């Protein structure tokens, strides 16, 4: 199983600012994903982080709001841009190798005030 380090663990941010969340994996993985969990809701996929190319976003999520980088097979960042209180959520990175289960980072609890 992969060990995933995600940081920050939590943050409180002012509206209009941006926050970058980092995800580091202890081994090379093919697939990395970013999920959002709004208060009282389940997990929703934001995008697939592609190594060496632009991320693939799900319906309702755009690159200008959630830019993603993936410079190599062990690291990715998600930025939440121009934040509003509606962006207050838990953000989770996830990795998957083929037909195995998905593993999750510890999550980032973001509060926008």
Partner 1 sequence: EDKVVQSPLSLVVHEGDTVTLNCSYEVTNFRSLLWYKQEKKAPTFLFMLTSSGIEKKSGRLSSILDKKELSSILNITATQTGDSAIYLCAVDRAGGTSYGKLTFGQGTILTVHP
- Nearest-approach distance from CB 85 to partner 1, in angstroms: 19
The footprint of partner 1 on residues 69-98 (CB under 8 A) is 90, 92, 94, 96
Question: Rounded to the nearest 5°, which phi and psi values hold at 73?
Answer: -85, 5
C-alpha distance from residue 60 to each of 34, 39, 80, 85 (Å):
14, 18, 14, 17
Stretch that binds partner 1, among 16-24, 43-51, 63-71, 72-80 (CB under 8 A): 43-51
The footprint of partner 1 on residues 50-69 (CB under 8 A) is 56
Determine, following the binding rule CB under 8 A, whether residue 102 of this chain makes contact with partner 1. yes
- Nearest-approach distance from CB 96 to partner 1, in angstroms: 5
CA-to-CA distance for 60 and 44, rounded, in angstroms?
10
- Nearest-approach distance from CB 63 to partner 1, in angstroms: 17
Element spanning 22, H or E: strand 19-25
């Amino acid at each position: 199983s992969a060990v995933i380090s995600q940081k920050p663990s939590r943050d409180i941010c002012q509206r209009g600012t941006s926050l970058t969340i980092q995800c580091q994996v202890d081994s090379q993985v093919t697939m990395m994903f970013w999920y959002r969990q709004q208060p009282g809701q389940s997990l929703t996929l934001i995008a697939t982080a592609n190594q060496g190319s632009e991320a693939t976003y799900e319906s309702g999520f755009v690159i200008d709001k959630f830019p993603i980088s993936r410079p190599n097979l062990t690291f990715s960042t998600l930025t939440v841009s121009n934040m509003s209180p509606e962006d207050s959520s838990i953000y989770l990175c996830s990795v998957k190798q083929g037909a195995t289960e998905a593993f999750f980072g510890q999550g980032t609890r973001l509060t926008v005030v």
